[in-house]
Amino acid sequence: QKEVEQDPGPLSVPEGAIVSLNCTYSNSAFQYFMWYRQYSRKGPELLMYTYSSGNKEDGRFTAQVDKSSKYISLFIRDSQPSDSATYLCAMQKTSYDKVIFGPGTSLSVIP
């Protein structure tokens, strides 16, 4: 079983839709969970950073972590064409540890 898994997509939605992106992982030692956005041939841009289980909201973005199910989600409300990118889930065992990335989900928001 891979350490971190994501549906690669591509996911295509109309502008204004609610987008749900998901990730599963196998190692219960992970405690810190992140979502990064990556535009083509650019560096990952941190969107959300959470510790342990629970929800975190920032503007149009909501991150959810369910450690009991080893499942994390990112919701994007009122999606915009500028949200079109690859979304990478990522996690760490400790706050200073290397980041382990998922393979990413490609999202297209159609005007």
Number of other CB atoms surrounding residue 33 within 10 Å: 25
Cα 64 to Cα 26: distance, rounded to the nearest angstrom = 17
Q: Where are the alpha helices (DSSP H) in the chain?
A: none
By CB under 8 A, residue 9 contacts other proteins: no
Q: Are 15 and 110 in contact (CB under 8 A)?
A: yes
Residue 85 or 88: the one with the smaller Cβ distance to other proteins is 88
Binding mask of the shown chain, residues 62 to 81, with x at each position contacting other proteins by CB under 8 A: --------------------
Interface pick for other proteins out of 18, 29, 99, 110 (rule CB under 8 A):
99
Looking at beta carbons only, is 72 or 79 nearer to other proteins?
72
| 40 near other proteins, rule: CB under 8 A | no
Q: What is the dihedral of CA 90, 92, 99, 71, to 10 degrees?
A: -20
Which residues are at the interface with other proteins (CB under 8 A)? 32, 34, 36, 41-46, 49, 88, 90, 95-104
